[in-house]
Structure 1
Amino acid sequence: MSDQTPPPGPGLWTTVDTLTQWLDTNRPVEGPEGVLLRILKLSEEVGEVSEAVIGATGQNPRKGVTHTWDDVQAELCDVVITALVALRTLTPQAREVFEGHLERVRERSLASVRP
């Protein structure tokens, strides 16, 4: 067994670009409708998070516990990936748009904790 850390894979935005290109190549619906469907995919993914939480907590007595918290984590990751791909579909400057928005949220949210 090796103590070496495996080399990192491609970065986040490289992967988002690659996934977006792959989806663009393989999408059955083009144009504005295709863009809208890609954005609507977020609703599906969020629903899968809900299903996993319900399954992890056993809230459906007929089904019992059907998921783990690892499943919830994976589904949340799918939401993030889907959102980033949707953003990249809308703009080639997805990284800049996201990082600018994240900074505004950080400033707004943490303004009350500053001395």
Structure 2
Amino acid sequence: MRIGELSRATGVSTRSLRYYEQQGILTSERRANGYRDYGPGAPEVVFRIRALLAIGLPTDRIRDILPCEGAAGRQPEACSTLLANIREIRDSVSAQAAELSRTSDALTHYLSENFA
């Protein structure tokens, strides 16, 4: 499948697909004419990349995660260190969210006490 076909199949721009290749998270073969040729599993890889980007993971982390999921599905035992790292990120994000919530509550209280 060529890049335009992959773009149409996934709804992802050709520019983004090229970027994913540059970052090492999507692969293609080059034809003799220089065109990219993606395998039949490429759309699924692109969907996984998009899902991981949507939750805020950077491409260098995605590069580590994709092989851990494996073609046969998730294989968490193969990447326990990576999973621990992702759990740390999740816990850090949760702590930041809690702090933001406390700040929001304090600001709401301040406004209601002083400007209501």
TM-score by length of 1: 0.27
**Of Structure 1 and Structure 2, which has the larger fraction of its residues in helix?**
1
The TM-score with structure 2 as length reference comes to 0.27
Asked which structure has the greater RCO (Cα within 8 Å, sep 6+), the reply is 1
